[in-house]
Amino acid sequence: MKPALGILAGVVLVSACVRTNAALIDPSVQLARTCPEAVKLFTTPDRVSQPYREIAVLNAKGESNWSDEGDMIQSMREKAAEVGANGIILSKIDEPSALTKVIGAVAKTGSQRKGNALAIYVPSDSTNTATVCAKAKNK
């Protein structure tokens, strides 16, 4: 039982190191929550290849010593799912420079990685989204 608690604590620690907020583009639009597993990642808008609706601007930040790009993307997926999106278009992830990391370590202030994305809803993918979320819920 103790090893499981240690793993759980590690997962909570890593997920707590990245924070993502969502600024809704049209607050009057209320979509049903999806699940992070169904939120697809797109690197550019033209990769979506289907009509979509812009839902929210996502801004994520995390301590560079305790997170990586995967943690940033996962945090964005989780926030996108909360607002009903089934996709995100990644804008950028800014890494602190080596000098910033060194100064942050010496000054014990740390350094932050920041990321931005656009949460979108692709209506033609709604059936797939529901299927993926149903499977994720049954695990």
Residue-wise pLDDT for 10-34, tens only, equals 444 444 588 999 999 999 999 999 9
| DSSP at 27 | T
Q: Residues 113-132: pLDDT tens digits? A: 888 999 999 999 999 999 99
- For 75-88, b where at least 16 C-beta lie within 10 A, e where not — what string? bbbbbbbbbbbbbb
Residue 34 · residue 81 · CB < 8 Å: yes
87-94 and 40-42 beta bridge pairing: parallel
Residue 99 has pLDDT above 60, yes or no: no
The first and second tokens of residue 78, run together, are 């989780």
Residue 68 · residue 30 · CB < 8 Å: no
End-to-end CA distance of the chain: 20
Mean per-residue pLDDT over the chain, rounded: 82
* For range 78-86, the mean pLDDT: 98
Residue 116 · residue 91 · CB < 8 Å: yes
Determine which of 2-11, 20-29, 45-54, 57-66 has the lowest per-residue pLDDT on average: 2-11
One-letter identity of residue 118: L
